[in-house]
Structure 1
Amino acid sequence: MPSLSEIVDPSAIRLDVAADDWRAAIRAAGGLLVSTGVSGDSYTEEMIGVVERYGPYIVIAPGFAFAHSRRDDSVRRTGMSVVRLASPVTFGHDTNDPVTLVVALAAADDDSHRKAMASLAGLIAQPDRRAAMDEAATPQEMHRAFTERAAEPDRQRESTTPQTGPAQQSPSGDGTAATAAAAANDTSRRQEPEEDTVASKGFILTVCGNGLGTSLFLKNTLEGVLDHWGWGRFVRVEATDTISARGRAQEADVLFTSGAIAEALGDVGVPVEVIQDFTSSGEIDDALRRVYAVDTSEVPE
């Protein structure tokens, strides 16, 4: 799989670009994909269409929009473009507006960009790296901010990290099996299940409009928190699209997604957790504690 440095072409980076609205911002980023031979104009319009259909879920972190769509016939290879706006633009997101940085992805297939996406998610989560993106004076500086090796993001609440896995479904499906953790007898950090919690099937879905972009950001951050808890070996995470999510929801403990996608999904029969900042370990930590009834009594304010 190509790395982030291979996917982000320095010639597909523009700084201080004027855009009157979010459509113009996406067209600016899409135009760079066109000029570098990654995709055609039709793909740019597809990226705009995604927001028109599903709302501003592509604004996955404060000030940051990740434009993408399913590939069309004009996508020749996998590539990304980066546009920093001269003035902030409103996309309509409740908490992450206004946007100053737009990254556009065109993926030639479902898999080749996954490594790069994981790297990008780690970078955006780092305040110092995000500051470097905001302050870059040249496209070359911006390229370095995007492609230098990401440090391991800090994990929160280390003193209250759960030491046992989630309560697992028994083979009969009655949800009465003991926890699957190695230290299964240590239940001091678990509460009695609340009404909206579930016996774990060991599976979580992250959902976006196409299953190729923002859901991968969310998957990466979620897996980081699970690994930090020691739950990574017990809970599998898969990124998917809205259509597949409706059909597969009953396989999962919970769906993680944006507010706009949650509204589009409607009632899928399992809990749906809305995440505002897809790069925030703390927000996802909170959501996991709600879903699995992890005791928060020792968590500092």
Structure 2
Amino acid sequence: MSVFKELLTAERIDLDREATDWRDGIRAAGALLEKTHSIESSYTEAMIASVEENGPYIVVAPGFAFAHARPSAAVHETAMSWVRLASPVNFGHEKNDPVDLIVALAAKDATAHNQAMAALAKALGKYRKDLNEAQSPEEIQAILEKAAAPATKKAATSPSAAVKTPTQTKTYDKILTVCGNGLGTSLFLKNTLEQVFDVWGWGPYMTVEATDTISAKGKAKEADLIMTSGEIARTLGDVGIPVHVINDFTSTDEIDAALRELYDI
């Protein structure tokens, strides 16, 4: 079954929408979910409040914001909406502003949307130009489905072939990806990070866990390092392990470079 067939229906996609500011953009994305009775309006306001409280951490790639809030009774079904803006808006992110694409996620739990999140991360990393130029909701869906198709396994090639298998010298072989809620941007980063590990051949040896800021402080003692946004890194403060800021959560190149530095490869 199509991973996006129910999650991101055509009626939840709005192309070239006008928005006065970032709040208006999130409200537009929330309105699409409200219209299909996926959420109540209080969830839309919770998505806005999350940015007001934590900063623009949802701007996880240049021009892209992934709006979400914690699961609550205001979410009736797990669903996504897609708003491509006619004119970009600023969220206040020092690296990734201005934003012209807002995807909103409403999740009833932390697992139902994992497959779609992986496909979305891949699509934005590989097919962003196609997504920007798509002329209809159906074109958007087709591009996302292409990203969701199983990848053909390839033998590792240089420089990936030169990456050494993790050894017992590291303590836990575990990385935490962290966001305010533990089920949106942290899952996004987790999926891209796992793509890199799969290319390296480290997948069987490493654990990547997406979590929220509160839980991360307790879980840090059982992890090697944390990857997150600049805003969340400032919220976390000193947790006793390295905290590495990733600017583009869709960039396997940026994450590859960060891992090589952190693991001294």
TM-score band (shorter)?
A: over 0.9
Cα offset, 1:93, TM superposition = 1.0
- Rounded to whole Å, the distance in 2 between the matches of 1:56 and 1:231 is 31
The amino acid of 1:285's aligned partner reads D
- 1:77 aligns to 2:109 (yes or no): no
- From 140, 143, 151, the equivalent of 1:142 is 140
Which residue does 1:68 correspond to in 2?
68
- Could you say if the C-alpha distance between residues 74 and 131 of structure 1 is closer, same or farther in structure 2, counting changes exceeding 3 Å? same
Structure showing greater radius of gyration is 1
Secondary structure of 1:59's counterpart equals: coil
- 1:6 aligns to 2:6 (yes or no): yes
Which residue does 1:252 correspond to in 2?
223
- Could you say if the C-alpha distance between residues 4 and 200 of structure 1 is closer, same or farther in structure 2, counting changes exceeding 3 Å? farther
- From 236, 244, 248, the equivalent of 1:273 is 244
- From 227, 233, 246, the equivalent of 2:204 is 233
Contact 2:63 2:96 in 1 (8 A): yes
Which residue does 1:102 correspond to in 2?
102
Which residue does 1:42 correspond to in 2?
42
- Could you say if the C-alpha distance between residues 207 and 17 of structure 1 is closer, same or farther in structure 2, counting changes exceeding 3 Å? same
- Could you say if the C-alpha distance between residues 149 and 270 of structure 1 is closer, same or farther in structure 2, counting changes exceeding 3 Å? closer
Contact 2:160 2:199 in 1 (8 A): no
TM-score by length of 2: 0.93
The amino acid of 2:262's aligned partner reads V
- Rounded to whole Å, the distance in 1 between the matches of 2:243 and 2:147 is 33
The amino acid of 1:221's aligned partner reads T
Contact 1:218 1:278 in 2 (8 A): yes
Contact 2:14 2:82 in 1 (8 A): yes
By percentage of residues, which structure has more helix?
2
Contact 1:2 1:112 in 2 (8 A): no
Sequence identity (%): 55
- 1:261 aligns to 2:259 (yes or no): no
Which residue does 1:22 correspond to in 2?
22
- Rounded to whole Å, the distance in 2 between the matches of 1:64 and 1:57 is 11
**Deviations 1:167-222 (CA, angstroms, capped at 9, x unpaired):** 425xxxxxxxxxxxxxxxxxxxxxxxxxxxxx341111000111101111111111
The alignment yields a C-alpha RMSD, in angstroms, of 2.1
Contact 1:162 1:230 in 2 (8 A): no
- Could you say if the C-alpha distance between residues 22 and 241 of structure 1 is closer, same or farther in structure 2, counting changes exceeding 3 Å? same
Which residue does 1:297 correspond to in 2?
none
- Could you say if the C-alpha distance between residues 238 and 152 of structure 1 is closer, same or farther in structure 2, counting changes exceeding 3 Å? farther
Q: Which runs of 5+ in 2 are unaligned?
A: none
Secondary structure of 1:100's counterpart equals: strand
- Could you say if the C-alpha distance between residues 253 and 106 of structure 1 is closer, same or farther in structure 2, counting changes exceeding 3 Å? same
Which residue does 2:258 correspond to in 1?
287
- 1:92 aligns to 2:92 (yes or no): yes
Contact 2:4 2:141 in 1 (8 A): no
TM-score by length of 1: 0.82
The amino acid of 1:136's aligned partner reads A
Cα offset, 1:160, TM superposition = 5.2
**Deviations 1:110-157 (CA, angstroms, capped at 9, x unpaired):** 11111111111111110xx21122112222222323333446799998
Which residue does 1:57 correspond to in 2?
57
Which residue does 1:222 correspond to in 2?
193
**Deviations 1:89-126 (CA, angstroms, capped at 9, x unpaired):** 01111111111110000001111111111111111110
- Could you say if the C-alpha distance between residues 20 and 145 of structure 1 is closer, same or farther in structure 2, counting changes exceeding 3 Å? same
Q: Which runs of 5+ in 1 are unaligned?
A: 170-198, 295-301
Contact 1:13 1:143 in 2 (8 A): no
Cα offset, 1:4, TM superposition = 2.4
Cα offset, 1:71, TM superposition = 1.7
Contact 1:122 1:152 in 2 (8 A): no
- Could you say if the C-alpha distance between residues 206 and 157 of structure 1 is closer, same or farther in structure 2, counting changes exceeding 3 Å? farther
